[in-house]
Structures are given as C-alpha cells and as structure tokens.
C-alpha cells in the first residue's frame, strides 16, 4: 500500500495545508460554494415544491418532479460545467460553477419536497381543514411537518450532489478541493491525487452525516419529541405517510 502511505505523508505535511492553493484555502472555497449553492437551490426549489404540492397544479407537479430528476441524471455534470465555462459567463469568476451547482441540486430538492408535501394523507388535510385551519396553516402546521423527512432527504441528496459537482469544477479551473486532485494528476503525483480524493470523500461523507444528524434532531414527527406523554398515543401526529415513500426518490443522480 505504497499509495496510501504516500497520501498519508502528503496529508500530514504542514506546508500542504497553508498558503495559496493549500488545503485550508481549497476547503474554504469548497464549503463556501456548497453553502451558497445549497441556499440558492433551496430558495428556488422549496417554494416551487410547496406551490406544486400544496395546491397549484398537483398534476403538473407529478410529471415535472419525475421528469426533472430523470433529466438531471442523463445530462453529464462535467459537460455542463465545461459548456458554462466556455460561455461569456466565465468572466464572472465562479459564476458558471455556481450555476451548474444550482442546476444539478434543484431536481432532488424539488422532487423530494414535492413528493413529501403532495403525499400527505388527504384525510389528515381534510381533518385540519375541518378544524378551521386556513390554507397557510395547513401548509405550515400539517403538510410541512409531515413532509419534513422527505424534505431533508432532498436537502441531503442535494448537498452531496453539490459537494461532488464542486469537486468536478476543478477540471475547468474552478476552486475547491478538486484542485488538489487535478494538480496531482498534472504533476504525476499519485500520492497527492489519492490524498485529494480522501479529502473529498471525507468531506462528502461528513456533509451527509451532519445533515442526517440534523434531520434526526429537528424531525417534528419524531415520537417523543413532543414530550406530552409516552409516545404516539398522546395524540401527536400519526406515523404518517413519510414512512412509506422514504425511497420514492432513491438513487439520485451521482456526479
């Protein structure tokens, strides 16, 4: 395992972490791009999913939610990144990368959020209406809490997708940890290539793990979170439909 020890010694060399183009700087770029793109994608996809799933056009929404995910899978991320950097947009620094990141993270967000909201048990919605809730109350206090697990699945998928796409952005010269890998390839340094790959893989797994933890902590439908009584019998929300389609949008596009 020559390569692994080489990668380890590369990673433990202090000089590789600091300075211009060091790991710290690349990690910062990666996290900055990821956060910015995720926020932008949420700002676009979530309101749209709420509108489609809550009332708007559920019929249009279903077809859109399925097709947009399939299309996202068929279009190569690498091709879109390169195409965007060849356009005049490339004059604005990281803008092409950012656009590509948002483009590829909207489908999982939209699909999961839509499926979660539209899949709310109609009886529960009817009951909420019967209790005198307004449309907005139904959305905010019934549909969104019940759709929360699906919503978070979408956010997790999108975040992992963004981390992966941001890595690829190094090929056309964008920032981020992918640059460690491409620089290693350019200089025929296998140790650096492997070290960069380990960094990227760890980052992707950490983002996924952190968001999964966040989901567990924030889940409004988690039994025991409403500390009224022992468990679901306390009149909290029923197990709900979120347990059914947990895999509805499984196998997101991978980059």
Q: Which of residues 3-42 bind other proteins (CB under 8 A)?
A: 3-4
Whichever of 92 and 185 has its CB closer to other proteins, that residue is: 185
**Angle, nearest 10°, between helix axes 178-186 and 144-168?**
20
State in angstroms the smallest separation of the CB of 14 from other proteins: 22
The full length of the chain comes to 255
CA distance 96 to 82: 9
Dihedral over Cα of 119, 124, 129, 134: its sign:
negative
Q: Which of 139, 181, 211, 249 binds other proteins (CB under 8 A)?
A: 181
Asked if 48 touches other proteins (CB under 8 A), the answer is no
Q: Which of 160, 221, 240, 241 binds other proteins (CB under 8 A)?
A: 160
Asked if 77 touches other proteins (CB under 8 A), the answer is yes
Write the binding mask 185 to 204 for other proteins: x where contact by CB under 8 A, - elsewhere.
x----x--xx-xxx-xx--x
Q: Which stretch binds other proteins (CB under 8 A): 41-49, 72-80, 219-227, 231-239?
A: 72-80
Write the binding mask 81 to 100 for other proteins: x where contact by CB under 8 A, - elsewhere.
-xx-xx--------------
Asked if 109 touches other proteins (CB under 8 A), the answer is no
Which residues are CB-neighbours of 141 under 8 A, at least 6 positions away? 128, 133
Asked if 172 touches other proteins (CB under 8 A), the answer is yes
State in angstroms the smallest separation of the CB of 243 from other proteins: 16
State in angstroms the smallest separation of the CB of 34 from other proteins: 12
Query: Which parts of this chain interact with other proteins (CB under 8 A)?
Result: 2-4, 70, 73-80, 82-83, 85-86, 160, 163-165, 167-168, 170-172, 178, 181-182, 184-185, 190, 193-194, 196-198, 200-201, 204-205, 208, 247, 250-251, 253-255
């Amino acid at each position: 395992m020559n390569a692994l020890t080489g990668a380890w010694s590369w990673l433990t060399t202090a000089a590789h972490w600091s300075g211009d183009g060091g790991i710290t700087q690349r990690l910062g770029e990666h996290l900055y791009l990821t956060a910015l793109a995720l926020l932008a994608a949420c700002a676009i996809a979530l309101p749209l999913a709420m509108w489609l799933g809550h009332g708007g056009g559920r019929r249009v929404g279903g077809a859109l939610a399925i097709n947009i995910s399939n299309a996202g899978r068929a279009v190569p991320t690498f091709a879109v990144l390169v195409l965007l950097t060849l356009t005049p947009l490339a004059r604005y620094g990281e803008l092409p990368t950012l656009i590509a990141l948002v483009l590829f993270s909207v489908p999982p967000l939209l699909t999961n959020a839509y499926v979660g909201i539209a899949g709310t048990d109609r009886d529960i919605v009817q009951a909420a209406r019967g209790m005198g809730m307004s449309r907005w109350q139904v959305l905010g206090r019934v549909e969104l809490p019940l759709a929360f697990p699906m919503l978070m699945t979408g956010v997790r998928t999108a975040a992992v997708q963004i981390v992966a796409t941001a890595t690829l952005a190094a090929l056309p010269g964008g920032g981020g940890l992918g640059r460690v890998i491409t620089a290693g390839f350019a200089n025929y340094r296998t140790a650096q290539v492997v070290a960069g790959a380990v960094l990227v893989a760890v980052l992707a797994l950490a983002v996924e793990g952190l968001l999964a933890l966040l989901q567990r902590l924030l889940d409004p439908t988690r039994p025991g979170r409403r500390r009224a009584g022992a468990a679901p019998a306390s009149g909290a929300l029923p197990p709900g439909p979120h347990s059914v389609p947990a895999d509805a949008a499984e196998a997101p596009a991978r980059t």
